[in-house]
Amino acid sequence: MSFYNKEPKYTHGDIPKIGIILANLGTPEKPTSSALRKYLQQFLMDRRVVEIPRFIWCWILHFIILVFRPNASAKKYASIWTKKGSPLYVNLLNQSNKFKEQLKKNISTPLEVEIGMSYGKPSVAEAIDNLKKKNCTKILFFPLYPQYASSSTGAALDALFKKLIRTRNIPEIRVIRNYHDDPSYINALEKSIRNFWATNGKPKKLIMSFHGVPKKSLMDGDPYHCECHKTARLLATKLKLKDDEYIVCFQSRFGKAEWLKPYFAKKLEAIASEKNLTVNVVCPGFSSDCLETLEEINMEGREIFIENGGDPKGYSYIPALNDNPEWIDAMIQITSRHLSGWIKEKYNANDIKKLSNITKLNYKKIKDKL
């Protein structure tokens, strides 16, 4: 049996295309204990997600976490599940469709777009297979994480490179590492927040909550913490916020180790009882709404705020960018810069077809000599 994966059927003269993979974390297939167990096992066995020595972690994972956590997690997913499936998947699919539609209006060079998840389906490996079948000889890999973290962008890149290791005919590859300070991304965030304020009013405090990572990651050289704070600073400047009008914190802490601080829940507890306080929470590290935003921030966060003396009407979550036109626009701008040199300003389909026909004729001449 060959070490390499089987290559798709190739026909000489096929017109080459450029492929783009929009990558995100992943999601269970259903909001059930069995689906969560399968998903969590894949997710939590990734060395980039959990860096505890394997001989210790495997015991903890299989005999404690996968015994008790799937049922609790399934209930949380069930509370935010949609008729079309997981919010993360649905949002990513909508982003992909609108992105593809807009991209083809802006660029005449033949392009194909696929989505791929680090964990679960559709996988990054499947996305690569689909693009190769469509004769994509160049692939741009776009992880939809604004800030680089080893446990998110790094894990997505691992999924990409693991597939390529077993690929005989490797396409030309480019990667978007981060876009935490990209003007188009900051503008999309600003527009989204201002639109929310136009309808709901400006709060006294804007909390910018980012997904947490262990503090050890920062000490070991992960740039995530710094990139989150730069995003927050640029966004606050665009919104013309004073220092006391916004807070930067981190959510989704897991385990007993120290994570990046301040913790979202603790900060919310501390400020909830302030007189006449109104709070908006935005999550600039998430391109799509998912469990961490819809359940942890919008539901659990609201409960914490109310339980600690906050006015039930004083707490609001500002949705992620999802498929907002401004974000699709930003995705196009970020992508176009990374496609420089691959795309042609004036792509003449007829000329390309003529060259393709010449290649096919030449192949016929030499076919019998092989």
Please tell me the distance from the alpha carbon of residue 47 to that of residue 155, in angstroms, as a whole number: 9
What is the mean pLDDT of the segment spanning 180-208? 98
CA–CA gap between residue 349 and residue 1 (Å, rounded): 40
What is the reported pLDDT for 344? 82
pLDDT for 73-88, tens place per residue?
999 999 999 999 999 9
* Of 244-258, 267-281, 337-351, the least confident: 337-351
Determine which of 125-139, 238-252, 256-270, 347-361 has the lowest per-residue pLDDT on average: 347-361
pLDDT at 180 over 80: yes
Q: How many angstroms separate the Cα of 296 from the Cα of each of 41, 94, 251? A: 21, 23, 8
- Quote the CA–CA distance of 265 and 161 in Å, as a whole number: 36
**Mean pLDDT on 250-259:** 90
Q: Indicate the DSSP class of residue 260.
A: S
Average pLDDT over every residue of 273-287: 96
Structural domains of the chain, ranges and CATH numbers in brackets: 17-179+324-349 (3.40.50.1400), 183-317 (3.40.50.1400)
What is the DSSP-derived secondary structure letter of residue 141? E
- pTM for the complete prediction? 0.93
Comparing 13-17, 99-103, 113-117, 238-242, the range with the smallest average pLDDT is: 13-17
Q: Evaluate whether 239 touches 282 at the Cβ level (below 8 Å).
A: no
Cα 62 to its chain centre, rounded Å, is 27
Nearest CA to 280 among 252, 332, 315, 328? 315
pLDDT confidence of residue 348: 60
Residue 351 has pLDDT above 60, yes or no: no
User: What is the per-residue pLDDT for 2?
Assistant: 85
DSSP string of 59-78, one letter each residue = HHIIIIIHHHHHHHHHHHHH
